[in-house]
A and B are shown apart, each in its own frame.
Chain A
Amino acid sequence: MGDEKPKFLIKGGKRLDGRKPEDVRPIQIKMGVVPNADGSAEVIFGKTRVIATVYGPRELHPRHQVINERARVRVRYDMMTFSVEDRKRPGPGRRETEISKVLAEALTRVVITEKYPTRAIDVFVTVVQADASTRVAGLNAASLALADAGIPMRDLVVSLSFGKSYDEKGQGHMVVDLEKEEDNWGMGDIAYAVAPALGEVLLLQMDGDVTLEEFKKGKTMADKAALEIYEMQKRALKARYEEGSK
């Protein structure tokens, strides 16, 4: 924190960490990291690490939140105090409340909530280490944890960030999967989530300035990267049960 603005974030087609604009960071997915939960997953995007756990469907308290015809998907997004350089004050603030809300809305779109009227499906998204793009990593983890818990879903959720970085001349370039420097100093960042098999957009948030052309270019890059992440998710889910069967 408090570092000076870097002279460039991208130079000669290479980003600060050596990636090409369309590359995502090394991704790792671990399933079932919290055995006590009904479903859990850990998603690692470079230095960003997020754990999601799912409990339910279970009885919904407080009762006034009950929806008679379907289940309510509740998400609590939280960052660990040690997940960032300066100690993060524990508890949900303005930012956490907002992220919890948008994640819940994105997940409600894919979970077949009509199957469990009046119940609650609780998702806890915990950021263990933050290096930008935590909400999208959290959404990936949440979707995997839901599938792990055996909750009926129309599709998985694949999520990633993209944004506008600048080179040494101050020229903007679209890049995929922002890391911390690019998020802090970049010219725009977008959180994006899709249901890949259905082709629906579930989350789209932007901070900064991006022209329509740039957005379209970034989205094309993100869609391509999303397919890679989707394949990884499928592999991770299957690997849980595959050894020995068939």
Chain B
Amino acid sequence: MSENVENRQLVVPGKILAKGMEFLPGDGAYRDQDEIRASVLGLVNFKGRAIKVIPLNGKYLPKRDDPVIGIITEVGYNSWNLDINATYTARMLVGDASDRYIDTNRHKLASVFGVGDAVICQIKKVDENMAVFVTARGPGLRKVHDGKLVYVNAAKIPRIIGKGASMVKMIKEYTETRMFVGQNGIVWIQGGNEELAEKAVLKIEAEAHLVGLTDKMEQFLSKESGKTINRDEPKPEPEAVAEGTEEKKEEGE
């Protein structure tokens, strides 16, 4: 906490967040001589010495190790191009497509991933020119065959995941679906009550800035699904919109 702003305060670009060298600017903030100012419209978040501003809107900006869902747009000779619902498109090289060796002379790449396929992948590298590379090698990373893709605002993703993935877990329990939440704002839902899960995701997106959303969603889900799930230990309500890093790794499966 600095003397200029409180944690979770709504700020506009240009607002002074802290003075002096005590703090460091994180995402959504920048240093202007000895002042740290906000660069986006969002909520202030203090983490140790770093001050960041969690944006309330905006496109996804690819970051290393983020789990995302990409749609194949082009099949090349030794790579694929993917639309990752971001400012930049992504590339996947043959070596990153599968754990098995793919001989480009013998196999057509389109037989691995064709145009229009949705692939659960992970950002492998983002270079200084913002060339983005993704990989489909890793636990849980694969092509999806059925189910539903729901597009939401990428800024609202941390809220859909919830603290320690509490929100996705809850939706999955009530709707009996399988879900994967990509950091880029694409949510994959499959099996069970897909419609209700989609509704729930869109509801969270619309009300992401409100406090006490988990309880509200619990009520909504139990009413819509006609189910009650007993929680033995009462869970503390996660107040923060997003702490970012720790739940980021959380994959819906």
Q: Which residues of A contact B (CB under 8 A)?
A: 38-39, 56-59, 68, 110, 112, 115-119, 147-156, 195-198, 233-234, 237-238, 240-242, 244-246
Determine if B209 and A150 form an interchain contact, defined as CB atoms under 8 angstroms apart. no
User: Which single residue of chain A is at the shortest CB-CB distance from B55?
Assistant: A150
Which of B9, B37, B57, B130 sits near A149, CB closer than 8 Å? Answer: B57
Chain B residues near A196 (CB-CB < 8 A): 14
Chain A residues near B32 (CB-CB < 8 A): 154, 198
User: Which single residue of chain B is at the shortest CB-CB distance from A120?
Assistant: B87
Determine if B16 and A245 form an interchain contact, defined as CB atoms under 8 angstroms apart. no
15 further A-B contacts with Cβ under 8 Å, apart from A244-B209, A244-B211, A245-B210, are A56-B87, A57-B87, A110-B13, A118-B130, A151-B58, A152-B28, A152-B30, A152-B39, A154-B13, A155-B14, A156-B13, A197-B15, A246-B8, A246-B9, A246-B10
Chain A residues near B40 (CB-CB < 8 A): 147, 150-153
Determine if B57 and A39 form an interchain contact, defined as CB atoms under 8 angstroms apart. yes
Chain B residues near A233 (CB-CB < 8 A): 12
Chain B residues near A238 (CB-CB < 8 A): 10, 12
Q: How far is the CB of A106 from chain B (nearest CB, A)?
A: 15
Chain A residues near B56 (CB-CB < 8 A): 150, 240-241
Determine if A197 and B210 form an interchain contact, defined as CB atoms under 8 angstroms apart. no
Q: Which residues of B contact A (CB under 8 A)?
A: 8-10, 12-16, 28, 30, 32, 37, 39-42, 55-59, 61, 87-89, 129-130, 155, 209-211
The total number of A-B Cβ pairs within 8 Å is: 94
Determine if B12 and A150 form an interchain contact, defined as CB atoms under 8 angstroms apart. no
User: Which single residue of chain B is at the shortest CB-CB distance from A246?
Assistant: B8
Determine if A234 and B12 form an interchain contact, defined as CB atoms under 8 angstroms apart. yes
Which of A119, A153, A234, A242 sits near B39, CB closer than 8 Å? Answer: A153
Determine if A153 and B210 form an interchain contact, defined as CB atoms under 8 angstroms apart. no
Chain A residues near B14 (CB-CB < 8 A): 153-156, 195-198
Chain B residues near A58 (CB-CB < 8 A): 87
Chain A residues near B16 (CB-CB < 8 A): 197
Known pairs A150-B56, A197-B37; A237 contacts B209 (CB<8 A)? no
Which of A110, A119, A195, A242 sits near B87, CB closer than 8 Å? Answer: A119
Q: How far is the CB of B128 from chain A (nearest CB, A)?
A: 8
Q: How far is the CB of A63 from chain B (nearest CB, A)?
A: 14
Chain B residues near A242 (CB-CB < 8 A): 10
Which of B55, B57, B87, B155 sits near A116, CB closer than 8 Å? Answer: B87
Chain B residues near A153 (CB-CB < 8 A): 13-14, 39-40
Of the A-B pairs whose beta carbons lie under 8 Å apart in the complex, a sample of 13, sorted by A's number, is A38-B58, A57-B87, A68-B129, A147-B12, A149-B57, A150-B42, A152-B39, A152-B40, A154-B39, A155-B13, A198-B14, A234-B12, A241-B41
Q: How far is the CB of A33 from chain B (nearest CB, A)?
A: 15
Known pairs A58-B87, A118-B129; A150 contacts B59 (CB<8 A)? yes
User: Which single residue of chain A is at the shortest CB-CB distance from B43?
Assistant: A245
Q: How far is the CB of A51 from chain B (nearest CB, A)?
A: 18
Q: Which of B16, B39, B61 has the most CB of A within 10 A?
A: B39
Chain B residues near A68 (CB-CB < 8 A): 129
User: Which single residue of chain B is at the shortest CB-CB distance from A119?
Assistant: B87
Q: List the 5 shortest-distance A-B pairs measured between CB atoms, nearest first.
A: A150-B58, A155-B14, A197-B14, A150-B57, A152-B39
Q: What's the Cα separation between A57 and B57 when bound, in Å?
A: 13
User: Which single residue of chain B is at the shortest CB-CB distance from A58?
Assistant: B87
Chain A residues near B15 (CB-CB < 8 A): 197
Chain A residues near B89 (CB-CB < 8 A): 59
Chain A residues near B57 (CB-CB < 8 A): 38-39, 148-150
Chain B residues near A154 (CB-CB < 8 A): 13-14, 30, 32, 37, 39
